């Protein structure tokens, strides 16, 4: 974070300075030097999203790849940890904005969601030029130190069902052979052969593709914040339309209690 000279704050009193854009009521809106409505007349929403965030006009293949990465992990399953928040919000009759916003916030986790993705982004980016020996040594050191490596290994099952369709999409778009994607799969092979027996998961491949497209860590963190969004509104809606409180009900006899024994209360 850059330091601000105290004198600079005086110039900021009463107004906001930004290079990103502006809204002029009744007249226009601007984004990075362009009239928003003229600039986007023949563009998709995702084009605007990426241009506003990065300042770059990505190629159609790059945009389609990033949009596919959102699509391939948008599971409308209320059991998934962040979707569960949206579903419970619907079941309790909280608003869609509140429930979905809370579910997005829960995505900012350590062992799921943003945590492994950002860890994989940092690791693959730092070791893309390593030899196989150096790459495996760096991964081994991290595993011994932290007992986990973002982007590798997965609870419940070893295989990640998102890898094959993502790579098929990447090949179709000409993005499957970048240096970071190759590094991600080199490490996958090294870990699979060694004693760790850990396979690549979505976090590593997603991170490698963003690195090859040239996005910064801040860009990636912003994109990750809503990468699971597609599954959240439908689970909120479904459970908002069902019996209130009907999601994951817990009967009294399912609660293990070893506190004070039952007692009579005065009338």
Assign 7 to helix, strand or coil: helix
Query: 89-93, 153-157, 182-186: which range is least confident on average?
Result: 153-157
Residue 14 confidence (pLDDT)? 85
Distances (CA, A) of 248 to 18, 81, 87, 126, 233: 46, 13, 10, 43, 18
> Mind listing the domains of the chain with CATH numbers?
114-225 (1.10.230.10)
Within a 10 A sphere around the Cβ of 243, how many other Cβ atoms? Answer: 9
Q: How many CB atoms lie within 10 A of CB 200?
A: 23
3-state DSSP assignment of residue 141? helix
Range in 5-9, 47-51, 101-105 the model is least confident about? 5-9
Tokens of 126: 């730092």
Instruction: Say what the pLDDT of residue 15 is.
Output: 82
Which of 245, 254, 208 lies closest to 88, judged by CA? 245
Look at residue 76 and tell me whether its pLDDT is greater than 90: yes
Here the tokens at position 74 are 């948008």
Residue 211 pLDDT exceeds 70: yes
Query: Residue 17: how many CB atoms within 10 A of its CB?
Result: 6
Contact 207, 66 (CB under 8 A): no
Predicted confidence band of residue 197 (pLDDT cuts 50, 70, 90): confident
Strand arrangement, sheet containing 34-35: 21-24, 28-31, 34-35
Query: Band of the pLDDT at 1, cuts 50, 70, 90?
Result: low
Give the chain's mean pLDDT.
Answer: 93
* pLDDT tens track for 111-120: 889 999 999 9
Helices 217-225 & 202-213 angle (0-180, nearest 10)? 130
Q: Alpha-carbon distance 50 to 195, whole Å?
A: 40
Instruction: Give the pLDDT of residue 191.
Output: 94
DSSP 178-228: -HHHHHHHHHHHHHHHSTT---B-HHHHHHHHHHHHT--HHHHHHHHHTTT
Number of H helices, E strands in the chain: 13, 3
Q: Note the pTM of the prediction, 2 decimals.
A: 0.90
Residue-level pLDDT at 115 = 95
Please determine, for residue 2, whether its predicted confidence score (pLDDT) is greater than 70: no
Report the C-alpha gap between 31 and 37 in whole angstroms.
Answer: 9
What is the average per-residue pLDDT within 72-97?
A: 96
**Residue 227 confidence (pLDDT):** 95
- Residues 244-255: pLDDT tens digits? 999 999 888 898
Q: How does pLDDT run across 227-239, given as a tens digit for each residue?
A: 999 999 999 999 9
């Amino acid at each position: 974070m850059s330091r601000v000279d105290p004198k600079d704050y005086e110039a900021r009193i009463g107004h906001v300075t930004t290079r990103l854009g502006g809204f002029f009521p009744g007249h226009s809106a601007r984004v990075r030097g362009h009239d928003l409505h003229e600039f986007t007349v023949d563009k998709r929403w995702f084009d605007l999203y990426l241009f506003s965030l990065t300042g770059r006009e990505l190629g159609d293949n790059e945009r389609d790849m990033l949009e596919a990465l959102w699509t391939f992990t948008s599971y409308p399953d209320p059991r998934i940890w962040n979707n569960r928040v949206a579903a419970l919000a619907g079941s309790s009759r909280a608003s869609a904005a509140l429930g979905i916003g809370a579910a997005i916030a829960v995505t900012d986790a350590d062992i799921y969601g943003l945590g492994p993705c950002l860890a994989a982004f940092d690791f693959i980016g730092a070791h893309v030029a390593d030899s196989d020996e150096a790459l495996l040594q760096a991964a081994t050191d991290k595993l011994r130190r932290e007992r986990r490596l973002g982007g590798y290994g997965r609870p419940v099952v070893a295989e990640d069902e998102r890898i094959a369709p993502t790579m098929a999409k990447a090949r179709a778009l000409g993005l499957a052979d970048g240096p970071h994607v190759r590094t991600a799969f080199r490490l996958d092979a090294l870990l699979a052969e060694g004693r760790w027996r850990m396979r690549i998961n979505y976090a590593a491949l997603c991170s490698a593709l963003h690195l090859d497209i040239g996005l910064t860590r801040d860009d990636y963190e912003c994109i990750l914040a809503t990468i699971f969004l597609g599954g959240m509104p439908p689970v909120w809606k479904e459970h908002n339309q069902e019996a209130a409180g009907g999601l994951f009900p817990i009967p009294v006899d399912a609660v293990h209690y070893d506190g004070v024994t039952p007692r009579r209360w005065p009338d």
